[in-house]
Structure formats: structure tokens, C-alpha cells
């Protein structure tokens, strides 16, 4: 999935959506920056 903008809002998430996600930020000028986040749902 691609997303443009500075904020990603996840709504109506269930436990099936839990896990690791990789965010890659790029503005067309190398290098791109990436961070992994973990999402947990109680």
C-alpha cells in the first residue's frame, strides 16, 4: 500500500492487523529513510 502525506490513520483495526509494518519515507532525493513499527491491538 502506498500513502502520501505526513500522517497515516488506521481505523477499524482488528487483531488480524497486528504485526510489524515498514514505513519508507522518500522525497525523490536519495537516500530514502525507513523505520519498522509494531502495531498491537488490545
**Residue carrying C-alpha cell 513499527:** 37
- Helix/strand/coil for 23: strand
Domains: count for the chain: 1
What does the block give as the cell for 24?
519508507
Residue that wins the pLDDT comparison between 34 and 9: 34
Between the alpha carbon of residue 20 and those of residues 17, 23, 28, 31, 39, the distances in Å are 9, 10, 25, 22, 6
DSSP state of 19: E
pLDDT at 21: 92
2-26: pLDDT as tens digits: 778 888 888 888 999 999 999 898 8
What does the block give as the cell for 42?
488490545
Owning domain of residue 6: 1-42
pLDDT at 10: 81
In angstroms, the CA 6 to CA 3 distance is 9
pLDDT band at 1 (very low <50, low <70, confident <90, very high): low
Amino acid at each position: 500500500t502506498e500513502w502520501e502525506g505526513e500522517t497515516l490513520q488506521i481505523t477499524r483495526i482488528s487483531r488480524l492487523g497486528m504485526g510489524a509494518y515498514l514505513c519508507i519515507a522518500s522525497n525523490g532525493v536519495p537516500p530514502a529513510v525507513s523505520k519498522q513499527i509494531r502495531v498491537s491491538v488490545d
